[in-house]
Amino acid sequence: MINATEQEEREYLEEIKEKLTLAVRHIDDTVKQYSEEMRQKKQYIHEQKSGMDEAEMVAADQSINRMAFTGGAAVERKRKLIKLSQSPYFGRIDFIGNDHIRVPVYIGIYSFADMEKRVNLIYDWRAPISSMFYDFELGDAFYTTPSGTVQGEIVLKRQYKIRDGRMEFMIENEINIHDDVLQKELARSSDDKMKNIVATIQRDQNAVIRNDTSRIMVIQGVAGSGKTSIALHRIAFLLYRFRDSIAAKDILIISPNKVFADYISNVLPELGEEHIPEMVMEELASDLLEKKYKFQSFFEQVSSLLDAHDPYFIERIKFKSSFEFLSKLNQYLLHVENNYFKSTDLKIGQTVVPAHFILQKFKNYHRMPMLKRFDLVVKDIQTFVREAKGQKLTGRDKARIWESIPRMFRFNNVFDLYKDFYQWIDRPDLFKTDQQTGLEYADVFPLIYFRLRLEGISTFDRVKHLLIDEMQDYTPVQYAVLSRLFPCKMTILGDISQTVNPYSASSAETIERVFPSADIVKLNRSYRSTWEITAFAQRIVPNPDIIPMERHGQEPIVSRFSSKEEELHAIKEMITHFRSSGNQSLGIIFKTQKQAEKAYQDLKAEGVYLLTDESTSFKEGVSISSAHLAKGLEFDEVIVPYATEDNYKTDVDKSMLYIACTRTMHQLTITYTGEVTEFLLQ
Ligand SMILES: Nc1ncnc2c1ncn2[C@@H]1O[C@H](COP(=O)(O)OP(=O)(O)OP(=O)(O)O)[C@@H](O)[C@H]1O
């Protein structure tokens, strides 16, 4: 079977579809048979119940469970086969290996085999042999399997676009992953959910996806470089590669907000994997503080920064985002260890427990969190007293010891110690709480860090891989907490240019200081936006490393209006125009949430949605959002209103403008009334 011509390929596609249909039918028959057997078994049990002993009941239950499980797996397999019938494969390489036999390798989202002939008809894109599709052109090639490297030659390479079972096109590939196909993919309009990119994964991206050795992988990639897509494909790859030891439920994604989580939620199921548990950072924080403290969210922190330029607030955030702060916290904990447990002689009846004995016991448990040592010290003292007296302790003696030991420690809760830390560094002004909002966001993770060190928090051992997106938004203390809580492999990704809070941003290098063994990968090719849009965004935050896609489109438009009313009116017209344009999504992105909310009232119309920090889903159509919430999302078109010098003037404002402009794939319009921001004048 060589399938040389396009005609032969089309016939072959029909053949494969037929085989898939038969396989689906076969599964249907099996499932039917299982359910019939299960029905009979259940009936039998029902009838015989009274005569069965416990062991027989358990065995019968187990056999039903097994049948249900196998039945469930069959249904899942059927779902995959039906999906495969829509688009069985997207690539092919013909490979001649050591045995000199030419093997056509068709590559698709899942594998499919002819069970009778025992041949693989479609290879999963994650199979070792499939890696050559991404890594090599025609000529010498190799792939690595767990048992070694296979050398050979690729003599043919093709790409297909098969949709709804029909071949839309086929391309003979001389060069690596033909740019035409990538261009076509990138030129299409966006969806409400992120899509898989298996057919056009690029070589450098493939290296990141298939890396199965890094314990900590940090991906620093420019806007639109595919970081999030790649991280999700990497998860799918790891689930395949380590299918015996990792399941979807063993992975945790920490995402910046629910809308983002919803936006990316489709990629893994599309790749045939189950839904992966995800969590927003604030949810994790709230759990770790056992819901005892009210605190400001990261979103609220950023909103406050945008609303008012309070230099003291900024100073607090900056300090708490520094490495110096983390090392000061550690120094303080050492100081507490050495100075805050003041033992005194303890008299129990006639027995005196010497102060130095108590202190020694406290120090002996240095591996335990300090506030957890008292119970152990108490037990040691009880033994000491019992042995000294030569008789059992009375209830009163016991109670006295239980009371006395914790009192020898200066504080008995983490919060008081955290407050005391600021006294110790002689900067009590750096700790502020608000009656209404509670703790400042910048204090949340330091407090959790104290809990971890002083009380101990059990680690998330069930998580085998942690994925952290938007890494630039987390501070060294946050990473110190995460590294202690998650002793597992991690993929950490983000872009320092897209920070929503420049006072607390972490670069790949910052993260490397917390995880010295991390492997850092940089992705500089930007896929999302047209060349014109990427060039425009570069004027706001220049990055000489960025490589824009050679995909051209309309120049971004910057429009000046004489009043806000006129500006809003023009935006309304743009919405009308969008509706007849064939594009799927339009983002109207404001600097602040307040501006977004106000404009939503003014622009309100059918199919116009407002994203808030409570939103849980991302929909097609017109979305009004703040830049902070739009981070990570993408739209066919973006409008950035109010781009005036007053509105965009600080460093935070600049980050917001950059984020807003880099959300669009095809078209960007900036509007303003009065003077344009200087960030657009460079
Ligand atoms: N190899 C590829 N083939 C097709 N599309 C790609 C490829 N790589 C990236 N893309 C597309 O580029 C866009 C940006 O990808 P993604 O959102 O993963 O990037 P990102 O680096 O996380 O972006 P940002 O940091 O700006 O939010 C998506 O539409 C994605 O499908």
Q: What is the pLDDT of residue 509?
A: 82
> How far, in Å, is the centroid of ligand 1 from the Cα of 581?
23
DSSP state of 517: T
Asked whether residue 221 is marked as a ligand-binding residue, the answer is: yes
Q: 393 pLDDT exceeds 70? A: yes
Per DSSP (E only), the strands in 188-320 are: 216-221, 251-255, 278-280
Give the whole-number percent of the chain exceeding pLDDT 90.
66
Residue 420 CB partners (closer than 8 Å, separation 6+): 410, 411
Are 431 and 367 in contact by the 8 Å Cβ rule? The answer is no
pLDDT tens for each residue of 54-103: 777 777 777 777 777 777 778 888 888 999 999 999 999 999 998 899 99
Distance CA 5, CA 206 (A): 29
Minimum-distance ligand 1 atom for the alpha carbon of 631: 27
Q: Whose CA is nearest to atom 9 of ligand 1?
A: 226
Tokens of 516: 């010295």
Q: What is the pLDDT of residue 619?
A: 85
Asked whether residue 582 is marked as a ligand-binding residue, the answer is: no
Longest CA span, the chain: 102
Asked whether residue 227 is marked as a ligand-binding residue, the answer is: yes
DSSP state of 190: P
Q: Whose CA is nearest to atom 29 of ligand 1?
A: 528
Tokens of 196: 């898989």
What are the residue ranges of helices labelled H in 222-279?
A: 227-241, 258-264, 267-270
- pLDDT band at 497, cuts 50/70/90? confident
3-state helix, strand, coil in the chain (%, to 5): 50, 20, 30
DSSP state of 164: T
Minimum-distance ligand 1 atom for the alpha carbon of 527: 12
Instruction: Record the pTM.
Output: 0.89
Q: What is the pLDDT of residue 537?
A: 95
> How far, in Å, is the centroid of ligand 1 from the Cα of 228?
7
pLDDT tens for each residue of 587-641: 999 999 999 999 999 988 778 999 998 888 888 899 999 999 999 899 999 999 9
Q: What is the pLDDT of residue 175?
A: 55
Tell me what the mean pLDDT of segment 223-252 comes to: 93
Asked whether residue 139 is marked as a ligand-binding residue, the answer is: no
Domain boundary assignment for the chain: 6-176, 211-341+410-523, 342-408, 531-680
Torsion of Cα atoms, 153 then 158 then 162 then 166, to 10°: -110
Q: Whose CA is nearest to atom 1 of ligand 1?
A: 201
Distance CA 505, CA 503 (A): 6
* Average pLDDT of the chain to the nearest whole number: 90
| Among 264, 260, 263, 189, residue whose Cα is nearest residue 584 | 189
Distance CA 44, CA 18 (A): 39
Which residue in this structure is represented by tokens 């910057």? Answer: 558
Are 430 and 443 in contact by the 8 Å Cβ rule? The answer is no
Asked whether residue 223 is marked as a ligand-binding residue, the answer is: yes
> How far, in Å, is the centroid of ligand 1 from the Cα of 219?
13
> How far, in Å, is the centroid of ligand 1 from the Cα of 642?
27
Q: 577 pLDDT exceeds 90? A: yes
- To 10 degrees, what angle do helices 651-661 and 531-540 make? 180
> How far, in Å, is the centroid of ligand 1 from the Cα of 329?
38
Pocket-testing residue among 264, 528, 545, 664, ligand 1, by greatest number of atoms within 8 A of Cβ: 528
Residue list, ligand 1 pocket, CB within 6 Å: 182, 185-186, 195, 197, 200-202, 205, 221, 223-229, 495, 498, 527-528, 632, 634, 662
Could you tell me the CATH superfamily of domain 211-341+410-523? P-loop containing nucleotide triphosphate hydrolases (3.40.50.300)
Four-way CATH pick for 531-680: 3.40.50.300, 3.40.1440.60, 3.30.1330.120, 3.40.190.10: 3.40.50.300
Q: What is the pLDDT of residue 48?
A: 76
- pLDDT band at 1, cuts 50/70/90? low
pLDDT tens for each residue of 354-375: 999 999 999 999 999 999 999 9
Q: 174 pLDDT exceeds 70? A: no
Give, in order, the Cα–Cα distances in Å from 137 to each of 94, 123, 157. 11, 18, 8
Distance CA 611, CA 660 (A): 14
Q: Whose CA is nearest to atom 15 of ligand 1?
A: 226
Q: What is the pLDDT of residue 266?
A: 87
Q: What is the pLDDT of residue 149?
A: 94
User: One fold for both 211-341+410-523 and 531-680?
Assistant: yes
Q: 178 pLDDT exceeds 70? A: no
Distance CA 680, CA 654 (A): 10
Give the whole-number percent of the chain exceeding pLDDT 70.
99
